[in-house]
Copies of this chain bind each other. A is one copy, B any other.
Amino acid sequence: MHPFTTHPTEAVSSLGELGLIAAMRRWLGKVSPPAPHGIGDDCAVLPASSRTALVTVDPVIYGEHFNDAVAPSAAGAKLFKRNLSDIAAMGGRPRAAVVAIALDETVKIEWLAGFYRGLASIGRRYRVPVVGGDIARHRGGLVVTLTLIGEASGPRVLSRRGARIGDRIYVTGRLGGSLRGHHLSFTPRLAEGAWLAARPDVRSLMDLSDGLAKDLHALTPANAQPVLHENRIPVSTAARACARSSGRPPLAHALEDGEDYELLFTVSRQTPDADFVRAWRRRFRLPLSCIGEFQSMNRPLPAGAVDLGRHHGFEHLKP
């Protein structure tokens, strides 16, 4: 749906500011608790928690992250899920969200209702209230920024740092071709992230947002290089479809396409691969692939290893 209208009665400005806030609370339904724990005071108030806190923020921007072809509810759901994926990526659990919307006065009420119902559906599914936010005028634009507050799900949070030479590298799901639908339909890997954080043999964790080839740098320890075995990369059906139209290999799509929202993590080599995979399968049906390991920078790459120097992920700002 195109978000803007030329009919004044269809536009958000016809509601006025207070009317718009009331409508937002209605669209959010139970996901909008009463003030001061929800929308309506200077700050949202959250009860004290004895756990380490997590904070992440991501926007969706009209013309960048969604366009007229995307249903407004799908854009809203995507915004919430992108942030949930970042909480999953540290093994945390989500607590509450705040949403700042910068919008032209000609945004359609119908579009915004759909967007907020999309937020509400995710808030209900993952039991995360929308506790506050802001509305600001932005002539000609539509930018919605969600900040998600979370907390550790257990005694530790799993950062990107911690991998060592010899650690094996794992990835969940299948990679590539996200723009064919997965970028909207993906599931944030919250249960999986929390499970990983509870295992001491898992040493580092992140989610894949800019493509494996780019994101893996963040997990790579100093003086190490990742060895990825070409035949072990889980290439998605969508990556194969993209390859047919792009003329590039399916593997290139799996390595370079962004928005996989899968988990990438490393496990100590002390744990045999078969043991780890067995423990995973007892708990999850989601595919898990051991795609390689970290080796010393000085050693040559073995046969069948991916030459990562030839692959690049998504760049947010082209140099």
Residues of B within 8 A of A41 (CB): 90, 159-161, 206
Distance in angstroms from A213 CB to nearest chain B CB is 14
- C-alpha gap A140/B143 in the complex (Å): 12
The verdict on A300 contacting chain B, using a C-beta distance below 8 Å, is no
The verdict on A250 contacting chain B, using a C-beta distance below 8 Å, is no
Residues of B within 8 A of A147 (CB): 55, 57, 98, 100, 147
Q: List 20 A-B contacts (CB under 8 A).
A: A20-B317, A35-B161, A36-B159, A40-B160, A42-B56, A43-B90, A45-B54, A48-B151, A49-B53, A53-B149, A55-B96, A55-B149, A58-B136, A61-B102, A61-B138, A102-B145, A137-B316, A138-B143, A140-B140, A141-B143
Per the 8 Å Cβ criterion, residues 64-120 of A in contact with B are: 64-65, 86-87, 89-90, 92, 96, 98-100, 102, 105
One of A10-18, A168-176, A225-233 at the interface: A10-18
- C-alpha gap A135/B209 in the complex (Å): 13
Distance in angstroms from A53 CB to nearest chain B CB is 4
The verdict on A52 contacting chain B, using a C-beta distance below 8 Å, is yes
Per the 8 Å Cβ criterion, residues 195-215 of A in contact with B are: 206-207
The contact of A59 among B20, B49, B100, by CB within 8 Å, is: B100
In the complex, the chain B residue whose C-beta lies closest to that of A160 is B41
- C-alpha gap A151/B100 in the complex (Å): 20
The verdict on A273 contacting chain B, using a C-beta distance below 8 Å, is no
One of A126-134, A238-246, A280-288, A291-299 at the interface: A126-134
Residue numbers of A with Cβ under 8 A of B are 12-17, 19-20, 35-36, 40-59, 61, 63-65, 86-87, 89-90, 92, 96, 98-100, 102, 105, 131-141, 143, 145, 147, 149-151, 157, 159-161, 206-207, 315-319
Q: Is the CB of A43 within 8 A of B13?
A: no
Residues of B within 8 A of A141 (CB): 61, 138, 140-141, 143
- C-alpha gap A157/B139 in the complex (Å): 36
The contact of A105 among B63, B157, B317, by CB within 8 Å, is: B317
Residues of B within 8 A of A100 (CB): 57-59, 145, 147
Residues of B within 8 A of A56 (CB): 42-44, 98, 132
Q: Is the CB of B43 within 8 A of A317?
A: no
